[in-house]
Amino acid sequence: MTEQTMLAAVMHPAEVEMLIRDLRSELVADDAPAATVQLARYHALLESFCKDWRQLYLLHGVGELSWSEFANLRDGVREVSKALGEGLVLRTNRVAAHVFSKAACCVPCSRPQQPPARPARRIRAVRSGPAAPRVHRGRAALRQHAVV
């Protein structure tokens, strides 16, 4: 089964926070002592991203004029994530944090996609008027009525 709803042009802040919270719960640092400080900075980056996203959402809403603001924020976090995410991985599958955060922060800022078109249903026409169709009686029946 496929989803029948359209994706929003701008993701709701609660959804962004949920995705980032999941990402943050999986992040771990390498064994290097500097990696712990780096992990704390990366957490702060993701937390501030959520706050900035919520602020933009409250200021601008989801109107098309604000999409560039959301895209700039998203792209800025991606750039900083490249530097701060070095040496950070996800606990479960050891994927680099920057690679995963790029996917997690891939919030849409564009025209919503249309859901797939459903096949057209055939609707039977409803007849107006009497329920039974008129019966053609033929010429003989018409002559009988005329003679009487």
* Nearest CA-CA partner of 70 in 52, 45, 43: 52
Residue 125 binned pLDDT confidence (cut-offs 50, 70, 90): low
Residue of 32 and 75 predicted with greater confidence: 75
Whole-model pTM above 0.75? no
Q: What is the mean pLDDT of the chain?
A: 76
Q: Which amino acid is at 24?
A: R
Q: How far is CA 38 from CA 21, 24, 84, 96, in A?
A: 18, 13, 6, 14
Tell me the percentage of the chain whose pLDDT exceeds 90: 25
Residue-wise pLDDT tens digits, 97-108:
877 555 555 555
Residue 54 binned pLDDT confidence (cut-offs 50, 70, 90): very high
Residue 65 binned pLDDT confidence (cut-offs 50, 70, 90): confident
Residue of 143 and 38 predicted with greater confidence: 38
Q: Do 8 and 62 contact (CB within 8 A), yes or no? A: yes
For the ranges 42-51, 76-85, 132-141, which has the lowest average pLDDT?
132-141
Instruction: Sketch the domain layout of the chain as residue ranges.
Output: 13-104
Confidence at residue 147, expressed as pLDDT on a 0 to 100 scale: 47
Residues 6+ apart with CB under 8 A from 28: 39, 88, 89, 90, 91
Confidence at residue 14, expressed as pLDDT on a 0 to 100 scale: 94
